[in-house]
Amino acid sequence: MNFMSQAQYLKMLEREIQKINKKIDLKILRGEEYKREARDHKLLLQKVRYHTRKGLVNRFVNLFFRTDILKGNSYAHA
């Protein structure tokens, strides 16, 4: 079996989101309903968030525990 890397999967999701955005934009301009596309867009965003959540948490932890985070803060020196 051929499996996608996480980066490839996220890129594919991004392309699908862009396609749906274009469809939604056209339907808005035509005054048409776009409930189905909005639902699909929401589901794709949930997939992206699920697969990037770990990275986001790690970035927050790294930011929080950085030793030089207070160097530029004038309140920390008072």
Q: How do the pLDDT tens digits run along the chain, 78 residues long?
A: 567 788 888 899 999 999 999 999 999 999 999 999 999 999 999 998 887 776 666 666 666 666 555 555 544 444
pTM across the whole model: 0.64
Which pLDDT score is estimated for 52? 78
Sketch the domain layout of the chain as residue ranges. 11-67
Distance separating alpha carbons of residues 16 and 12, to the nearest angstrom: 6
Which pLDDT score is estimated for 50? 83
Which pLDDT score is estimated for 34? 96
Which own/partner contact pairs does 66-73 have at CB distance under 8 Å and 24+ positions apart?
Answer: none
Which pLDDT score is estimated for 5? 84
